[in-house]
């Protein structure tokens, strides 16, 4: 066991953990901080496997943490990217209605955007949609010029590098999973796979494992994290010209995801997706991945079944699409009818963590809780990557108030 007693230990090296490290260290250069990540690389789960979008804040309830942090965090993220040469492009997106029944929901989204002060948004007609995305067939849309794309892995690594540059006594550890926590009066001990670490205060940004580590730390948490895998397709070389930037459908208000969309990535590839299916392994990126504990925990939790029953038909359709290229293409053709089977090829997958309530509700806001000498990020789904610097700032403020009485 290391003899060093760190002022703060941060568990989790995704972008929220990295942003917290960066913000807390920058505001408090004297603090000795350790960041512990169980994988061999930072940003290896939700951060590095999402769609790479800088979200505008268009969809989130005005006044919610998601709305406020997304807008604030977006501005901070873009400034950080410019200052640190993180690959990004504020290319804009269009949200497209393809049928009349979607128009009331399109109006609702637009009004939310106005309430959240999303700069530059405007309603556009079918002809204007074509001006931005010539191959899209829609009847009305919203232009969102402040949406962009970014390399979130690179952003994560540069936040960490910036933090380490502030204090040479701070450090990071890769490949060390925190298995248990021993809380004491003066400090706590984090028990890892091969090492133990002492720290006076703990901050957990553990994503897909957030609920488990919270319980190990003594938090009485009624909700449970449930994982959903999202599969992507990519456009082939012959299909790439059909998408210029970002194209989104009008999200179904009865389904807790934004729907399959088209995203130009910073590396020039164009992704289509994701769908959303229950995964039998929290960190399982392949269709047949399975973990007994993850499956048992999810299927013995009543919230999971309530979610299933609420969204039975959606769930069935998502699973069918996960195993059928033809059905996935049909969904994509709702926006771009000219796409063919030869225009798409299977891509990667990502897994998102949702803190699911006992009644099956997935629409919970960002959730951060303080307990004794610990702070837990319990729920940080999309747009957490966009909002990371704002979330990190909030955690730093909470740490200063509760840990150091500043």
* Block mean pLDDT (10 aa), the chain, length 406: 88 98 98 98 93 94 95 98 98 97 95 96 98 98 98 98 97 97 92 96 96 95 92 95 96 71 95 89 92 94 89 74 88 96 94 89 86 93 96 96 82
Place of tokens 């977006």: 74
Same domain, 359 and 369: no
Question: Could you tell me if residue 76 is inside a domain?
Answer: no
Q: Are residues 323 and 287 in the same domain?
A: yes
Q: How far apart are CA 385 and CA 77, in angstroms?
A: 9
The pTM of the full predicted model, rounded to 2 decimals, is 0.94
Q: What is the pLDDT of residue 18?
A: 98
Domain tally, the chain: 3
- Domain boundary among the residues 145, 168, 186 is at 145
Residue 71, domain member (yes or no): no
Cβ neighbours of 266 (radius 10 Å): 16
Q: How many helices (H) and strands (E) does the chain have?
A: 11, 20
Same domain assignment for residues 210 and 237: no
Asked if the structure places residue 231 within a domain, the reply is yes
202 domain residue, yes or no = yes
Average model confidence (pLDDT) across the chain = 93
Residues 229 and 346 in one domain: yes
What pLDDT is stored for residue 186 in this prediction?
A: 86
Same domain, residue pair 112 and 238: no
Over residues 379-395, the pLDDT tens digits come to 999 999 999 999 999 99
Q: Do 265 and 354 fall within a single domain? A: yes
Q: What is the span of the domain harbouring residue 105?
A: 93-145
Both 213 and 197 in one domain: the answer is yes
Q: What pLDDT was estimated at residue 309?
A: 85
The pLDDT tens digits for 327-367 are 999 999 999 999 999 999 999 999 988 899 998 887 678 99
For residue 2, the model assigns a pLDDT of 65
Q: What CATH number did the domain enclosing 204 receive?
A: 3.50.50.60
Q: Give CA 18 to chain center in angstroms.
A: 14
pLDDT value, residue 308: 87
CATH number at residue 276: 3.30.9
Asked if the structure places residue 58 within a domain, the reply is no
Do both 303 and 209 map to the same domain? Answer: no
**Looking at residue 257, what is its pLDDT?**
66
230 & 348 share domain: yes
Tokens 């250069």 correspond to what residue?
Answer: 29
Query: Which residues are within 8 A (CB) of 191 and not within 5 positions of it... i.e. 6 or more apart?
Result: 178, 179, 180, 181, 182
Q: Does 391 lie in the same domain as 305?
A: no
Are 331 and 377 part of one and the same domain? no
Instruction: Decide if 80 is inside a domain.
Output: no
Judgement on whether residues 261 and 346 belong to the same structural domain of the protein: yes
Is 232 inside a domain boundary? yes
Is residue 65 domain-resident?
no
Structure tokens, 353: 């963590």
């Amino acid at each position: 066991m290391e003899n060093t007693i760190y002022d703060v230990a941060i568990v989790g090296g995704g972008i929220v953990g990295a942003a917290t490290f960066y913000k807390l260290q920058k505001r408090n250069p004297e603090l000795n901080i350790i960041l512990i990540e169980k994988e061999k690389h930072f940003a290896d789960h939700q951060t590095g496997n999402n769609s790479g979008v800088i979200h505008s804040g268009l969809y989130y309830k005005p006044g919610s943490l998601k709305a406020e942090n997304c807008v604030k965090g977006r501005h901070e993220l873009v400034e950080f990217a410019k200052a640190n040469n993180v690959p990004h492009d504020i290319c804009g997106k269009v949200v497209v209605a393809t049928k009349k029944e979607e128009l009331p929901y399109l109006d609702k989204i637009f009004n939310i955007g106005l309430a959240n002060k999303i700069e530059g948004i405007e309603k556009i007609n079918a002809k204007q949609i074509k001006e931005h995305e010539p191959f899209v067939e829609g009847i009305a849309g919203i232009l969102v010029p402040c949406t962009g794309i970014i390399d979130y892995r690179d952003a994560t690594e540069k936040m960490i590098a910036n933090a380490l540059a502030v204090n040479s006594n701070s450090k990071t550890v890769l490949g060390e999973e925190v298995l248990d926590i021993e809380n004491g009066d003066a400090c706590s001990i984090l028990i890892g796979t091969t090492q133990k670490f002492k720290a006076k205060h703990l901050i957990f940004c553990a994503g897909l494992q957030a609920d488990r580590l919270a319980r190990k730390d003594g938090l009485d948490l009624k909700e449970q994290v449930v994982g959903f895998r999202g599969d992507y397709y990519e456009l082939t070389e012959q299909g790439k010209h059909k998408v210029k930037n970002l194209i989104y459908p009008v999200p179904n208000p009865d389904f807790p995801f934004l729907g399959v969309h088209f995203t130009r990535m910073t590396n020039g590839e164009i992704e289509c997706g994701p769908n959303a299916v229950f995964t039998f392994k929290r960190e399982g990126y392949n269709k047949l991945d399975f973990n007994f504990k993850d499956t048992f925990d999810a299927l013995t939790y009543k919230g999971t079944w309530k979610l299933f029953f609420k969204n039975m038909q959606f769930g069935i359709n998502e699973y069918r699409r996960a195993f059928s290229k033809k059905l996935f293409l049909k969904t994509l053709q709702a926006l771009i009818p000219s796409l063919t089977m030869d225009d798409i090829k299977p891509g990667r997958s990502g897994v998102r963590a949702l803190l699911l309530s006992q009644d099956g509700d997935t629409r919970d806001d960002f959730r951060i809780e303080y307990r004794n000498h610990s702070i837990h990020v319990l729920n940080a789904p999309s747009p957490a990557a966009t909002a990371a610097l704002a979330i990190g700032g909030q955690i730093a403020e909470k740490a200063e108030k509760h840990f150091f009485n500043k």
